[in-house]
Amino acid sequence: MKLIKGGTVVNATGPVQADVLIDDETIAALFAPGRGPGDVETIDATGKYVIPGAIDAHTHMQMPFGGTQASDTFDTGTRAAAIGGTTTIIDFAIQRYGEVVQDGLAAWHAKTEGRCHIDYGFHMILGGVDDDALKAMDQLVADEGITSFKLFMAYPGVFYSDDGQILRAMQKARDNGAMIMMHAENGPAIDVLVKQALERGETDPVHHGITRPQELEAEATSRAIWLAGVAADCPLYIVHLSASKALEQVAAARDTGRNVFAETCPQYLYLTLEDQLGAPGFEGAKWVCSTPLRSKHESHRADLWQGLRTNDLSVVSTDHCPFCMKDQKEMGIGDFSKIPNGIGSVEHRVDLLYQGVVDKKLSLARWVETIATTPARMFGLYPRKGVLAPGADADIVVYDPAGRTRISVQTHHMNMDYSAWEGWEIDGAVDTVLSRGEVISSGGQYRGRAGHGRFVRRGLSDYLR
C-alpha cells in the first residue's frame, strides 16, 4: 500500500484536498486529509497537485512515413512520455493499401511487445477501405479492443480515402459503435497547390503551410461532418484541428447536437507559421507537420484556447511524430514537400497545457479534463484511467506548481536531435509519476522500465449515443 498525502487532488470535477491510497496497481480509496492509514509508505504531495496520469490519444512511434520512420521507438517514446507525466498513449497501428488489416495490427503488436514503459492502446489507420477492411473493423471492435479508426482525406497515394470509402467506413462504425477519426484536409487540392508552388521555385519549409490553407482544412472538416450525418450520425472525431474556420465547422455541428468531436495539439496553441515554420533557411523544417502551423496575424490560437474552454475542442493530444533534422527533415532541402511531416512533443504536453492554467486560459479542472479524463472517456478507457477514484488504475502524476520546466534538446528524453520547444520555460513541473502503482519517475530520477507497459483493450466511447 502507498499513500499520496497532503496534496490537492484534481479530477475533471475540480480540486479537493485529499489523500490517495494505492493498493498494488489500483486506487483503493480517497481520504479526507490525514484520515488515511498511518502505517503505509507515503509520498509527500504537500503544496502539489495530484492528477490522473495523462493520456496522449494521438502518437506515432516509429511510424514509417515520408520515406523514413518516426525517430522515437516505443521504448524511447514511452519513456519520454512517462517522464513528462503521460501514463497511457494510444498509438496508430497502420493498414497500408493492399494489406490485410489484421496483419497491420499484428505488426504493431510486434513492435510494442515488451518495449513500452507505460500502458498503450491502438487506433487503426485504414489505408484501404474495401470489403475486407470493413469486415475487419467489426473484428477489431469485437475481439481486439480497438474501437477507433483513422481515415485520411489528405495524402493521396499514401493513406487517402475517397468520399465513398469514407462513407462506407462511417456506416460500419455507426453499426459497430466505433469512432471514426478524421485527418481533415483536402489532399487532392493541396497537391495542386504544392505542385504550383514548386514550379514557381517556392521550395522553403514555409510553403508547406502556405499550400495547406485553412480553407482546405475547413472544407474537409465540413465534408466529413456531412458524410457522418449521412451515415446516421456516425461518431466523428477530427484530429489535429489547427484553424479557426475548421473549428467553426465543429462548433456549428456540436451546436445542433451532432456526434462530432475534435482535438487540437500544443503546437497549434502556441506556435505559428511566421515565427516557426517561416524561420530562416531550412530551420522551419523542424515545424513541418500536417495540419500546418497557422498565421499569427489571424485569430487561430485565441480561438483554439476558447474552443478548449467551451468544449468545442474536447481533447489535447500531441500527434507526436518526431523526426530528426539530420538525415530525416533534411530529405526536404530544396523541396518542402519531401520534408517528413511531424513534430515531437509527447514529453511536454502536460507542462505546456499547465502553462495555459498559469496564463488563466484554462481552469485546473479543464487542464485535467482535456489531457486525461476526456481522452479516457472518448476512447473507451474510463473509469479504468483518466480519473482518481477507487478502482481506477493507480496512474498518477504529482505536479509541482512551484517547479519550473526548461525545455531543451540537451535535457529532453525524446529521440530527436532538436526540440520544437527549445528554450521554452513553464511555471510548473512534473514531480512524481506512478504507473499502475509503481513509481516510475520521481524528482527527475527515472525508475521505470521497458516492458512495464501493457496493451490495453479499449471499450466503446462513452460519448456514443
Give the interface with Zn ion as residue ranges (CB under 5 A).
183, 319
- Angle between helical axes of 214-230 and 187-199 (0-180°, round to 10): 160
Q: Which is nearer to ligand URP, 7 or 344 (CB)?
A: 344
Q: Give residues 352-371 in contact with ligand URP (rule: CB under 6 A).
A: none
455: DSSP letter: B
Q: Which is nearer to Zn ion, 219 or 400 (CB)?
A: 219
Q: Are 439 and 25 in contact (CB under 8 A)?
A: no
Residue with cell 495539439: 265
Category of 436 on φ-ψ map: left (φ > 0), alpha (ψ -120 to 50) or beta: left
Q: Choose among ligand URP, Zn ion, none what residue 276 binds, the Cβ cut-off being 5 to 8 Å by kind.
A: none
Q: Choose among ligand URP, Zn ion, none what residue 289 binds, the Cβ cut-off being 5 to 8 Å by kind.
A: ligand URP
Taking residues 239 to 268 in sequence order and writing x for each that binds ligand URP by CB under 6 A, - otherwise, the string is -x----------------------------
Q: Which is nearer to Zn ion, 12 or 243 (CB)?
A: 243
Q: CB nearest ligand URP: which residue?
A: 341
Query: Between the CA of residue 240 and those of 58, 122, 232, 246, 379, what are the distances in Å?
Result: 9, 17, 24, 11, 16
Q: Give residues 272-301 in contact with ligand URP (rule: CB under 6 A).
A: 289-290
Binding flag, residue 208, ligand URP (CB under 6 A)? no
Binding-site member from 79, 117, 174, 183 for ligand URP (CB under 6 A) = 183
Q: Which is nearer to ligand URP, 11 or 186 (CB)?
A: 186
Q: Give residues 39-98 in contact with ligand URP (rule: CB under 6 A).
A: 60
Q: 3-state secondary structure string, 166-204?
A: HHHHHHHHHHHCCEEEEECCCHHHHHHHHHHHHHCCCCC
- The candidate with the shortest Cα–Cα distance to 285, out of 335, 214, 235, is 335
The distance of closest approach from Cβ of residue 240 to ligand URP in the complex, given in angstroms and rounded to an integer, is 6
Q: Give residues 149-178 in contact with ligand URP (rule: CB under 6 A).
A: none
- Pairing of the two strands 148-152 and 396-400: unpaired
Q: Which is nearer to ligand URP, 58 or 384 (CB)?
A: 58
Binding flag, residue 321, ligand URP (CB under 6 A)? yes
Q: Which is nearer to ligand URP, 289 or 376 (CB)?
A: 289
Binding flag, residue 342, ligand URP (CB under 6 A)? yes
- The candidate with the shortest Cα–Cα distance to 287, out of 207, 202, 181, is 207
The distance of closest approach from Cβ of residue 150 to ligand URP in the complex, given in angstroms and rounded to an integer, is 8
Query: Count of residues binding ligand URP (CB under 6 A)?
Result: 9
Helices (H), 313-420: 349-358, 364-368, 374-378
Binding flag, residue 209, ligand URP (CB under 6 A)? no
Q: Give me the amino acid identity at 320.
A: H
Residue with cell 450525418: 229
Q: Which is nearer to ligand URP, 36 or 342 (CB)?
A: 342
Q: Which is nearer to Zn ion, 31 or 97 (CB)?
A: 97
Binding flag, residue 351, ligand URP (CB under 6 A)? no
Binding-site member from 91, 319, 369, 393 for ligand URP (CB under 6 A) = 319
Q: Give me the amino acid identity at 2.
A: K
Report the distance separating Cα 314 and Cα 321, nearest Å: 21
The residues, any chain, with a CB within 8 Å of residue 256's CB and separated by 6 or more, are: none
Report the distance separating Cα 430 and Cα 400, nearest Å: 6
Name the residues that contact ligand URP, by CB under 6 A. Answer: 60, 183, 240, 289-290, 319, 321, 341-342
